[in-house]
Amino acid sequence: MTQSSCQSCVHCTPPAPTGTGWCRLRRLSVHPELASQVFCQHWTSRPPSLPELNLSESVLVPLERQLDFCDSMQNSDQESEFTVLL
């Protein structure tokens, strides 16, 4: 069994001899050297295995609230700067 990749995907347009391929599903260009290595989740034969959410435990963030990763990343950068300066 061969592993699926952009080369075998029905959503990808093969690269032109002088250019890149195009993924119509993700709407991005795929470099020809990476097309045999790159794959996305829609090729998997089963759904991803995600951890179960235990609703009986207290939830730190309300479920309907979107997480703000920008603040987390900025805080993480500031902490690393302090670590480097020490």
Residue 79 or 49, more confident = 49
Owner of token pair 């699926």 = 4
Cα–Cα distance, 59 to 27 (Å, whole number): 35
pTM of the shown model: 0.38
Q: Name the token pair of 32.
A: 């020809």
Which residue ranges make up each domain of the chain?
1-45
What confidence tier does 80 reach under pLDDT thresholds 50, 70, 90?
very low
pLDDT tens digits, residue range 16-40? Answer: 777 888 888 778 888 888 777 776 6
The residue type at 78: Q
User: Is there a contact between 38 and 72 (Cβ–Cβ < 8 Å)?
Assistant: no
User: Is there a contact between 21 and 14 (Cβ–Cβ < 8 Å)?
Assistant: yes
Identify the sign of the CA torsion 67, 73, 78, 82: positive
